Amino acid sequence: MGNSKKERFLKHQGQTSPFPFLLEVDHAKGSYIYTKDGKRYLDMIAGVAVNNIGHNHPKVVKAIHEQVDKHMHVMVYGEFVQDTPLDFAEKLTAVLPETLNTVYTVNSGTEANEAALKLAKRITGRKEIISCYGAYHGSTHGSLSVSSNEIKKKPFEPLLPGISFIHHNNLEELNQITEKTAALIIEPIQGDAGVRCASTEYMKALRKRCNDTGTQLIFDEIQCGMGRSGRLFAFEHFGVSPDILTLGKALGGGMPIGAFVSTKEKMDLLSHDPILGHITTFGGHPVICAAAAANLEVMSSIDFEEVERIGAFIELQIKRHTLVKEVRRVGLMFAVDMENDAIVGKVVENCLNAGLISFWFLSHPNSFRLSPPLTITNKEAIEATEIIITAMNDAM
């Protein structure tokens, strides 16, 4: 094999699919990614709902630089008092309900879900866990166990025992939550299923059923949180709070981080019987937490009315096209349904060739996804819709 960067990438880095985009990234700023050949791409995916405040936000970059000059890793999580992890935890809990007052910082969204499942078992002493059909909670064994895609799960069995599934928005199936259930884990807005939003009626009934049975209610807001839904947290749409909240993706302002949040009383259960009930070497890394704290400051200035206005504009322009069967949108989280996966593939390819990044869903092949930065401007939204409409025209 030759020595081009693409060939070296394919040879030396583990691959996730046979058809990576293979863009050679030079730098990124705001809503755009720039490649080594000088081409500019309008990023309508934002790293799959990660760069919610755009690429390389100056406040996040400044915070990273300042912390790097002080120190990087000094000790495993939980032993030393460090400024930026504490600052991050205080900033995060300040924008959450009082029942979510203690943060445990980890390395990724899937680790947050793994830890949340452990915490629910520790709180309740129970073993059974219920998830939802259509769910995606991550790729590690525990998170994969409570995810729904059987094709993705089958080669890695056996997975966790004691897992069952109910349907999103099915009130009758809530009776499957019993005094034997440790946790019900749910995405308030399912991402991989193609942007499927729970109803307020369902979420309130779910909260009540968990209260009645002593079941821990876990909201996975790894993708739908941090402003993606048009509110800072998706659960704000429903007037319902979880017992445990998991976060990741956009939490770090472009840096890798996850967190699970609950009450101080519940979180303390991980510190005894046994001690070190959950441990992480790099969770709470000071540089990452500096970025995450700065990200929260930037998020506080996001105009969510503008987010909704731009989201509605993009939806209206796209849904008029004859190829579009349906658009499901919450905030700036889109699923655009086509007739089949072949058309989806062509539209995504056409967009890429025209300088716009869109993407697929793992488990919903007849749709393409959009999740642009929350900071996208009106001018950029117009540019995006023009490119997408042209890409759909060319796919016909």
CA dihedral in degrees (103, 104, 106, 110; nearest 10)? Answer: -80
By the 10 Å C-beta count (0-12 exposed, 13-18 middle, 19+ buried), 132 is classed as buried
What does the pLDDT read at residue 86? Answer: 98
Query: 101 and 228: one domain?
Result: yes
| In contact, 65 and 267? CB cutoff 8 Å | no
Query: 178 and 104: one domain?
Result: yes
Query: 172 and 186: one domain?
Result: yes
Q: Which residues of the chain have pLDDT under 70?
A: 1-2
What does the pLDDT read at residue 19? Answer: 86
What does the pLDDT read at residue 1? Answer: 44
Beta bridge partners of residue 193, listed in sequence order:
none
What does the pLDDT read at residue 184? Answer: 98
Query: 117 and 195: one domain?
Result: yes
Query: 165 and 207: one domain?
Result: yes
d(CA 311, CA 371): 10
What does the pLDDT read at residue 2? Answer: 54
Query: DSSP string spanning 94-119?
Result: HTS-TT--EEEEESSHHHHHHHHHHH
Query: 68 and 112: one domain?
Result: yes
What does the pLDDT read at residue 319? Answer: 96
Query: DSSP string spanning 41-72?
Result: EEESSHHHHT-TT-BT-HHHHHHHHHHHHH-S
**Sign of the alpha-carbon torsion through 87, 92, 27, 138:** positive
d(CA 115, CA 122): 10
Q: Which domain holds residue 12?
A: 5-53+303-395
d(CA 61, CA 346): 36
End position of a domain, from candidates 279, 299, 319? 299
Query: 171 and 269: one domain?
Result: yes
Query: 271 and 355: one domain?
Result: no
Query: 355 and 382: one domain?
Result: yes
End position of a domain, from candidates 281, 299, 317? 299
- Provide the domain count of the chain: 2
Query: 269 and 336: one domain?
Result: no
We report the CATH number of the domain holding residue 93 as 3.40.640.10
End position of a domain, from candidates 299, 327, 361? 299
pTM above 0.85, yes or no: yes
Query: 192 and 105: one domain?
Result: yes
Is the preceding omega at residue 274 within 30 degrees of 0, hence cis? yes
Closest listed residue to residue 179, CA positions, set 246, 237, 126: 126
Neighbours of 160 (CB within 10 A): 14
| Residue 173 one-letter amino acid | E
